[in-house]
Amino acid sequence: MNRPASSLPAGPLLLAVLIFAAALSRVLPHPPNFSPIEAVALFGGAYFAKRQWALVVPLVAMFASDLVLGLVNGGIYWSYFASAGYLLVYACIALSTVLGFGLRGKVGAGRVLAYSLAGSLLFFVLTNAGVWAFDGLYPRNGAGLVAALVAGIPFFQWTVLGTLVYAALLFGGFELLRRQVPALRAQTA
């Protein structure tokens, strides 16, 4: 059955649906670190008018997708919840959401590209520095930090690519929807 455009969920609900859909796509097979994590955070920060919703929705969506991944992948994934890496990923989501506040009212392809690259770099540095600081795999000195960062480089390309693809889908898709549904043109929630 075709529904008229006016029956689409308005504003905040639509943003939340888009963010949850992107987050749950993590269950699909994908290369390591190719994920929507940074893109959903930037997207939430850019479009939710209420900052608390901008922070809460991406965090809850990622937590929901982590729970699904835990159920699908079992014990291997459940150990992730007990690691410092888990908290660092969520810190990155919160920080990238705050970064996304800079896109409010100024969304454009060039700005989304720049913010996506900045968010990917933030994620790379924080998570790899976290491995260095908390996992005991590297000596806790400058050389160990450099070694941890260098070891993460092969994954960085996938982080950037995933962030760019999901940012294009989320920001581009929402902008197309906003052109079709006038009620979505104003700041959303």
For 6-73, the DSSP string reads: GGSPPHHHHHHHHHHHHHHGGGS---TT--SHHHHHHHHHHH-SSHHHHHHHHHHHHHHHHHHHHHHH
pLDDT at position 86, please? Answer: 85
User: Are 65 and 26 contacting, i.e. CB atoms less than 8 angstroms apart?
Assistant: yes
CB atoms within 10 A of CB 126: 16
Pair of tokens at residue 75: 């014990």
Q: What pLDDT is recorded for position 136?
A: 86
pLDDT (0 to 100) of residue 188: 54
* pLDDT value for 187: 54
Amino acid at 5: A
10-residue stretch averages of pLDDT, the chain, 189 residues long: 48 92 94 94 95 96 91 75 83 97 95 98 96 91 96 96 98 92 67
pLDDT at 77: 72
How far apart, in whole angstroms, are the C-alpha atoms of residue 89 and residue 81?
A: 11
pLDDT for position 6: 44
pLDDT at 189: 47
